[in-house]
């Protein structure tokens, strides 16, 4: 946590990482995966899409989801 001159606190991260980048750092990762999954398979899957493209896709899906909340079921 960093506190500025006005006393406002904010969290500062040393580095940014995707969930997969963080998970890869777990010691003996293969032990926690389903038997039919391998670390190599997950690496290939993660490499298929850039982080930016994945984030855009997720935002589009979130917009669709939130737009559906406003729809009336009685109409």
User: Is this model's pTM higher than 0.85 or not?
Assistant: no
Q: What local confidence, expressed as pLDDT, does residue 19 receive?
A: 84
- For residue 54, the tally of other CB atoms under 10 A from its CB is 14
Q: Is 73 helix (H, G, I), strand (E, B) or coil?
A: coil
Q: What local confidence, expressed as pLDDT, does residue 23 receive?
A: 92
Is the confidence at residue 72, as pLDDT, over 80?
A: no
Q: What local confidence, expressed as pLDDT, does residue 73 receive?
A: 62
Is the confidence at residue 75, as pLDDT, over 70?
A: no
3-state SS string for 8-64: CEECCCCCCCCHHHHHCCCCCHHHHCCCCCCHHHHHHHHHHCCHHHHHHHHHHHHHH
Domain assignments of the chain as residue spans, ordered by start: 16-69
Average pLDDT over residues 10-39: 90
- Report which secondary-structure segment, H or E, holds 65: helix 51-69
């Amino acid at each position: 946590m960093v506190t500025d001159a006005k006393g406002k606190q904010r969290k500062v991260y040393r580095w940014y990482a995707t969930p997969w980048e963080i998970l890869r750092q777990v010691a003996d990762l293969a032990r926690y995966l389903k038997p039919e999954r391998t670390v190599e398979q997950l690496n290939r899957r993660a490499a298929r899409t850039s982080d930016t493209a994945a984030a855009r896709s997720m935002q589009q899906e979130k917009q669709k989801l939130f737009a559906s909340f406003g729809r009336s079921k009685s109409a």
